[in-house]
Amino acid sequence: GILYALVPAESEWLVLAAALVGRATITGAYYISLQYCPEVFPTVVRGQGVALAETLGGVAIFLSPSIVYLGEWQRKAPLLVFAGLSGMGGVATLLLPETGGVVLPQTLQQAELFFRQAHPPCCR
């Protein structure tokens, strides 16, 4: 998003390359979230947690045309909004604990203990 906003509109090939890089990273982030999201919820509420995450994603999809419409006002506005939201999501993800090589929680009590003891990878 930010890369695309910084590229001059006259450079069609650069605009296309920036858009493709942005699309590839968004697609990768989506599939990573599909993999990681079930891992952070304990078994007893995993279905509900994943459903909530998918519902919030649906709300974002519902609102995205309104953000895109900001482009009528300023060409770079939607890209900066999407880039900012993506950046906030990335920072929030850094605060989640590492799940590789650990036994995942099965109950809510185990999940509370897991998150209390786990240190995010960015804070080690």
- Amino acid identity at 83: A
Distance CA 32, CA 68 (A): 24
Distances (CA, A) of 58 to 36, 37, 54, 63, 77: 18, 15, 6, 9, 22
- In one-letter notation, the amino acid at residue 119 is H
pLDDT of residue 48: 92
For residue 25, report the phi and psi dihedrals to the nearest 5 degrees: -70, -35
Q: What is the model's pTM? A: 0.66
Q: What is the pLDDT along the chain (124 residues), one digit of tens a residue?
A: 566 667 777 778 887 787 788 788 878 888 888 888 888 888 898 899 899 988 988 898 898 888 889 888 887 788 788 888 888 888 888 887 777 788 888 888 888 888 887 766 666 5
Q: What is the domain extent for residue 42?
A: 2-96+103-123
Count: domains in the chain: 1
pLDDT in tens, 30-60: 888 888 888 888 889 889 989 998 898 889 8
